[in-house]
Amino acid sequence: MEIPMIAYLVVSTIMFFAGVYGFVTRKNMLAMLISLELMLNAADINFVVFNRYLYPEALEGFFFTLFAIGIAAAETALAIAIIINIFRHIRNVDVHNLDKMKY
Amino acid sequence: MEQIANQVIFGLLALVIVVCSILTVTTRRILRAATYLLFVLFATAGIYFQLDFTFLGAVQLAVYAGGIVVLFVFSILLTSHPGDKAQLLTPKKRVVGLIASIFGAIVCGYTLLTYPFFTKPLTSVITGEIDMKEIGHALMGMEKFQYLLPFEAISVLLLACIIGGIMIARKR
Amino acid sequence: MEYSAIILLLPLCMFLFLGLVGHKLSERVAGILGTLGLTVTAVLAYMVAFNYFTMPRNAEGVFKTLQPVNFEWLRFTEHLHIDLGILLDPISVMMLVVITTVSLMVHIYSMGYMHGEKGFQRYYAFLSLFSFSMLGLVVATNIFQMYIFWELVGVSSYLLIGFYYTKPAAVSASKKAFIVTRFADLGFLIGILILSFFTETFDFQTLMSNPTSLVSETAGMTFMGCSVAAWAMALIFMGGAGKSAMFPLHIWLPDAMEGPTPVSALIHAATMVVAGVYLVARLFPMYCAVPEVLDLITWVGAITALYAAVVACVQTDIKRVLAFSTISQIAFMMVALGVAFNSDLHAGLGYMASMFHLFTHAMFKALLFLGAGCIIHAVHSNEMSAMGNLRKYMPVTHITFLIACLAIAGIPPFSGFFSKDEILTAAFEKSAFWGIWMTAVAGLTAFYMFRLYYRIFWWSKPDYGHHTPHEAPKTMYLPLVFLALVTCVAGFIPFGEFVSVNGQEYHIHLDWSVATTSIIVAVAAIALATWMYLSENTKPKALADKFRALHTAAYHRFYMDELYMWVTHKVIFQHICRPIAWFDRHIVDGTMNMLATVTNGVSYGIRKLQSGYIQWYVWVFIMGALLIAVLAMCF
């Protein structure tokens, strides 16, 4: 028996909302970033799965994932640079200390 | 026989992904979270392999597992002391997070389960690895379904990212 | 004669130069520079006049009308466009000479009079601006260009009246002058619009080539019982009446005396205030097409002449006396225009007389004002009570002032006699009523002028303290001498050969019956003034006590200012402006304030949402997205 598509999608959904949970609850900015990576990965899996199961003759999902990985790498590098910069200023990476953007 | 093996492998990968994802966001030690993330990424690469996207799997391993996680580990080591534990979550915060994630999971799961996908049988097209040549042509071509423009855009983005990273992180 | 454009451009450049970098120059340099500019302008104007009047006349014996410069500035329709250019015809050339002469005299005089004043350079810049605007006004090729420069002279008059802007009286006088003339100009503008709407042109030459076009175009159309053509011309006359201080729009001119005295001489006696007369003269053929407006002009002029002459008899501020005398004399010109008609040379005598009087009056009235300036300079007061017996101290001023007084009183052989005599003749031609009226006013003129003269130069010496009055410096009395000479000889200019109603040569001949009457009346009035004011006595006071009511009313200018104050404050402000202001403040502003208050309140209420915690934002975002998804699924 073939593996049904829905199995993949359920896995990626769980992964995605685990990322949401982590993003909302973690205080450490690096941990938040890690949660973000989880969400991105879940989306990537979805692209690939849809490509394979729904449009097997095309390569859109494949390339989208490829580019998403590239962009994720860039985004992570930049985010980490920002976080380290923040760390230099306030000697920690606690997101609760970054509330200057309020009213 | 092969299909059963496939299912077993998928089951293993799915288990790793689910367990490790949850552990990633619940563990109190940040370095462990990074490690669990590594496992999730490995398992994701496994799923790509299983779906015959070997190139993508390779990229996933090289860029994510090999690059990003290393970056994470380095930055974690830079910004925290060994043995640091995150504070326990306040009940309110946990509830808030759980509401968002479980409610979201329910909504998405319900949508996925009720939506009529028209899947095509995998056997109807040639399965197996995608030819590297084909990928190369698609990346560098300018025809329809070819991706030179996004490729160039991303290369510029990466350049900007390099410069931005230097600008932000350098000591003033 | 393309060089006539320089006449306009030079004062403009001088204004820009002195206005922009004047404060860097020393007083002396600025004064000399301004005067030099005006000298060149005056010389050019004389050259234009000489060349123009020596040109051969055309077949009908008329001087050609020239447009050496004319370019289109704004095009509205095929026919209707605003041009800017220079129109040379006998009256505009005559005005060029008058304006540049008086302006040059005032420039020279001001170097002495304004010496050491704060803002000397600014004063010269404004004088240049005024000269530019006034010259532009008289050479306008079309009525709209005239309107533009008309407003410009209004602005420069405003600036110069308010020259001593730290004095509240000067500030309010300048505002009053500007608002009153501006109000009159509203009528002018509406008149222009009606005129151009029906005739489809602004151009003077096109209008003059067919002066009845307005009447024929609007035939049968009436508004409030008068024909539309009459309305248009009357509204245009309203603009002229405002500038020329005709009753009841005269109230600004006496107050305008708050400005420096040379300015009064230039703007409020010789040039700007005759702009209204010039306007009527310019459009004279069109006024002849609507005779009822000519009658209106006659009435307005006659009433103004009498009113101003009566008021001038009792004023004690010498500049006010001169101001009212100016109003009265301009009214003479208006009456002369009103009684004239363009059917033939003889009927058009008033037109010629009006222009002639404009010319002579500009000279002797400028002389009077400049003389008054010398006196004020010497005794530091405008009030008659501070003066007396000044002939001993200021001989030159005394002689020149006397000449001017004789001229304005109409004693031969001074210029005023000739021009005034023509006006009286024209008035008698129209009807004996107007002739007698104007002769009476001429008698009053002689009386109040000699009252002024005796009161300043004879009477008895007041206490000058240790500061004895002395003759003015050279820069101040040389212009007086020059203008006095002009006043002596101007009457012998064969004016009718240059300016007449249809342009043909007209030989002035004195009507001896009229002349004799007016001379007798003038001499009698002078004798009365001599009897009353030659030396200090109580006769004037006794007379004033006898006619107390009349004297008080005249002294208060028949309460015209009070009437205006009552109308504006009690009627317009109270019942129109107040409610509108209330509406603006409470309804219009209130709506805006309410919008702002509501926005402010709501913002204050929801500002807590911007907590600055990024996780809270993400949570709200995700919940919102899910909610939308749920809603999408439900519906």
Cβ atoms within 10 A of the Cβ of C563, count?
13
Complete DSSP assignment for C106-162: HHHHHHHHTTT-TTHHHHHHHHHHHHHHHHHHHT-SBHHHHHHHHHHHHHHHHHHHT
Interface test with B, best of C614, C626, C628, C633 (most B CBs within 10 A): C626
Does pTM top 0.90 for this prediction?
Answer: no
Is the model's pLDDT at C380 over the cut of 90? no
B/e letters for C254-280, b = 16+ CB within 10 Å, e = fewer, are bbbbbbbbbbbbbbbbbbbbbbbbbbb
Report percent pLDDT > 90 for chain C. Answer: 21
Cβ–Cβ below 8 Å for C622 and B100: yes
Q: Say how far apart CA C446 and CA C309 lie, in whole Å.
A: 10
Is the model's pLDDT at C110 over the cut of 80? yes
Q: Is B109 on the interface with C (CB under 8 A)?
A: no
Q: Which chains touch C (3 or more CB pairs under 8 A)?
A: A, B
Q: Is B106 on the interface with A (CB under 8 A)?
A: no
Cβ–Cβ below 8 Å for A34 and B34: yes
Name the residue of chain A whose CA is nearest to C607's CA.
A103
Binding-face residues of B in 26-85 toward A, CB within 8 A: 26, 30, 33-34, 37, 40-41, 44, 47-48, 51-53, 56, 59-60, 63-64, 67-68, 71-72, 75-76, 78-80
Q: Is B12 on the interface with A (CB under 8 A)?
A: no
Q: What is chain A's mean pLDDT, rounded?
A: 87
Amino acid at residue number C252 = W
Interface test with B, best of A2, A27, A38 (most B CBs within 10 A): A38
Residues of C with CB under 8 A from a CB of A: 607-608, 610-615, 618-619, 622
Distance from CA of A64 to the nearest CA of C (A): 23
Interface test with B, best of A8, A37, A60 (most B CBs within 10 A): A37
Q: Which chains touch A (3 or more CB pairs under 8 A)?
A: B, C
Each residue of C143-154: pLDDT tens digit? Answer: 888 999 999 999
Is residue C450 within 8 Å of C376, Cβ to Cβ? no
Is residue C27 within 8 Å of C115, Cβ to Cβ? yes
Cβ–Cβ below 8 Å for B63 and A60: no
Q: Say how far apart CA C617 and CA A34 lie, in whole Å.
A: 18
Q: Say how far apart CA C287 and CA C294 lie, in whole Å.
A: 6
Predicted local confidence at residue A102, as pLDDT:
60
Q: What is chain C's mean pLDDT, rounded?
A: 87
3-state DSSP call for residue C226?
Answer: strand
Q: Is B100 on the interface with C (CB under 8 A)?
A: yes
Cβ–Cβ below 8 Å for C612 and A25: no
Predicted local confidence at residue A14, as pLDDT:
93
Average pLDDT over residues B46-74: 90
Task: Compute the half-sphere exposure of residue C119: CA atoms within 13 Å on the CB side of its CA.
Answer: 12
Average pLDDT over residues C315-327: 89
Is the model's pLDDT at C161 over the cut of 80? yes
- Nearby residues of C352 by Cβ (< 8 Å), 6 or more positions away: C422, C495, C496, C499, C500, C501, C506, C508
Q: Say how far apart CA C388 and CA C463 lie, in whole Å.
A: 10
Is the model's pLDDT at B123 over the cut of 70? no
Predicted local confidence at residue A69, as pLDDT:
92
Predicted local confidence at residue B72, as pLDDT:
92
Average pLDDT over residues A66-78: 91
Cβ–Cβ below 8 Å for A58 and B100: no
Q: Which chains touch B (3 or more CB pairs under 8 A)?
A: A, C
Counting one residue from A and one from C, how many pairs have CB atoms under 8 Å apart?
Answer: 28
Q: What is chain B's mean pLDDT, rounded?
A: 87
Interface test with C, best of A27, A35, A102 (most C CBs within 10 A): A102
Q: Is B18 on the interface with A (CB under 8 A)?
A: yes
Which chain C residues are closer than 8 Å to A25 by Cβ? 615
- Nearby residues of C575 by Cβ (< 8 Å), 6 or more positions away: none
Predicted local confidence at residue B120, as pLDDT:
66
Predicted local confidence at residue C531, as pLDDT:
86
Is the model's pLDDT at C464 over the cut of 80? no
Q: Say how far apart CA C143 and CA C189 lie, in whole Å.
A: 10
Distance from CA of A61 to the nearest CA of C (A): 23
Counting one residue from A and one from B, how many pairs have CB atoms under 8 Å apart?
Answer: 215
Counting one residue from B and one from C, how many pairs have CB atoms under 8 Å apart?
Answer: 16
Whether the predicted interface score ipTM is above 0.95 = no
Predicted local confidence at residue C130, as pLDDT:
92
Cβ–Cβ below 8 Å for A20 and C622: yes
**How many angstroms from the chain centroid is the CA of residue C121?**
23
**How many angstroms from the chain centroid is the CA of residue B33?**
14
Is residue C204 within 8 Å of C143, Cβ to Cβ? yes
Is the model's pLDDT at B124 over the cut of 70? no
Give which of C307, C306, C321, C310 is closest to C456, Cα–Cα.
C321
Cβ atoms within 10 A of the Cβ of B16, count?
19
Cβ–Cβ below 8 Å for B107 and C619: no
Which chain C residues are closer than 8 Å to A96 by Cβ? 613
3-state DSSP call for residue C480?
Answer: helix
Binding-face residues of B in 110-139 toward C, CB within 8 A: 110-111
Each residue of C5-32: pLDDT tens digit? Answer: 888 899 999 999 988 888 888 888 888 8
Token pair 């205030």: residue: C273
Q: Is B107 on the interface with C (CB under 8 A)?
A: yes
Average pLDDT over residues C54-72: 82
Each residue of C256-312: pLDDT tens digit? Answer: 888 888 888 888 888 888 899 999 988 888 888 888 888 899 999 999 999 999 898
Which chain C residues are closer than 8 Å to B103 by Cβ? 623, 626
Q: Say how far apart CA C113 and CA C373 lie, in whole Å.
A: 8
